[in-house]
Structure 1
Amino acid sequence: MMAKLHDYRVTIRWTGNRGSGTSGYRAFGRAHEIEAPGKAAIAGSSDPAFRGDAARWNPEELLVASLAACHQLWYLHLCAEAGVIVTAYEDRAEGEMEEGADGAGRFVRVVLKPRVTISSESDAALAERLHGEAHEKCFIANSVNFPIAHAPEIVRAR
């Protein structure tokens, strides 16, 4: 079977010119908009540690969110196929980035912490095992070079 290629196109538009462009490190804002056709724009910036706006999404948060969302979508798909009825799903994912002395950085790990509520008749052990399969199938997880741990909590609906 031939591999399928999927294209993703976004536009990043810098909106942080305060009148003098990048005339100095402190002279410009880090604000930008992330856009794709037919979708609401995402207000972006850098992390506040790098002179960014804490009220806007930063690339590091978006990376962690992408990993968590991809895992969730695969997990829900696998549960539906396996007969595990999920009634609620919330992930409080955490990422850790290491910054070097020269300012360059890299992620060293992400921990996904999904709290999954399943129906009382669903198999809790299977629900937990499916997190491993979801990780193996996640497109984003397969594209990064740092470890992703999983600490799921399975809760039975009452």
Structure 2
Amino acid sequence: MAKQHTYELTVDWTGNLGSGTSAYDAYSRDHLVRVGSKTAIEGSSDPAFRGNPARHNPEELFVASLSSCHMLWYLHLCATNGIVVTGYVDEAVGTMQEEAQGHGRFVDVLLRPRVTIGAGGDPALAARLHEEAHRYCFIANSVNCPVRCEPDIDISTL
């Protein structure tokens, strides 16, 4: 029997500048994302859509979700396959295409993890585990755009 997980959160718009949405430029896109008692995430829209550049936007959080999910599966698979990861940094890039009518969608996400493994580790296995992590990633399995991974594996000299 499959397990089902539910994730609840609150998105609270904080951008009423006094006249609500009386005009497209009359309100702020600022909002808070709250999950239980965790620290709130300050969100807005992309600055291209009148958003606050100091806050996270949904597009950034989408790419971050893909990157985080992949990383967490990868670390799990390394731990269970005898690969000691001592460093992991992903400089992920998501590409969104906006149509003339204003709607859009992501057309590509590229994960570029730089992974450092312990001396004596198997870099070929460490690279292959990225493919397996991709197959397990809950978020990547839920999106309709390609999610590619171009890992770089280094062996620690310490």
Alpha-carbon shift at residue 144 of structure 1 (Å):
0.1
The AA in structure 2 aligned to 1:27 is A
Give, as a single letter, the amino acid of the residue that structure 1 aligns with 2:118.
S
Residue 40, structure 1, aligned to residue 39, structure 2: yes
**Deviation of 1:38 (Å):** 1.8
Helix, strand or coil at the partner of 2:69: helix
Residue in 2 that maps onto 1:52? 51
Q: CA deviation at 1:120?
A: 1.1
Name the aligned partner's letter for residue 155 of structure 1: D
Shift of 1:28: 0.3
Percent of matched pairs sharing the same residue: 61
Aligned length: 157
Q: Output the amino acid matched with 1:38.
A: S
Question: How far apart are the structure 2 equivalents of 1:38 and 1:126?
Answer: 39
Q: How does 1:87-102 map to 2 (within 5 A)?
A: 87-102=86-101
Distance 1:18 1:64 in 2: 30
Code of the aligned partner of 2:136: K
Counterpart of 1:110, as a letter, is V
User: Residue 16 of structure 2 aligns to which amino acid in structure 1?
Assistant: N
Q: Secondary structure at the match of 2:7?
A: coil
* Structure 1 residues without counterparts, runs of 5 or longer: none
The superposition leaves residues 70-112 of structure 1 with CA deviations (integer Å, 9 ceiling, x where unpaired) of: 0000000000000000000000000000000110010000000
What is the aligned partner in structure 2 of residue 63 from structure 1?
62
Mapped to 2, the partners of 1:43 and 1:89 lie a distance apart of 25
Q: How far apart are the structure 1 equivalents of 2:46 and 2:91? A: 19
What does the per-residue CA deviation read over 1:44-72, in whole Å, with 9 as the maximum and x for residues that have no partner? 00000000011100000000000000000
Q: TM-score, normalised by structure 1?
A: 0.99
- Which letter does structure 2 place at the counterpart of 1:146? C
1:7 aligned residue: 6
1:6-155 paired onto structure 2 within 5 Å: 6-155=5-154
* Displacement over 2 Å in runs of 4+: none
| Paired AA for residue 132 in structure 2 | E
Equivalents in 2 of 1:105, 1:30: separation in Å?
A: 18
Distance in 1 of aligned mates of 2:102 and 2:5: 33
In structure 2, list runs of 5 or more residues that go unmatched.
Answer: none
Please report how far the alpha carbon of residue 128 of structure 1 lies from its aligned counterpart in structure 2 after TM superposition: 0.2
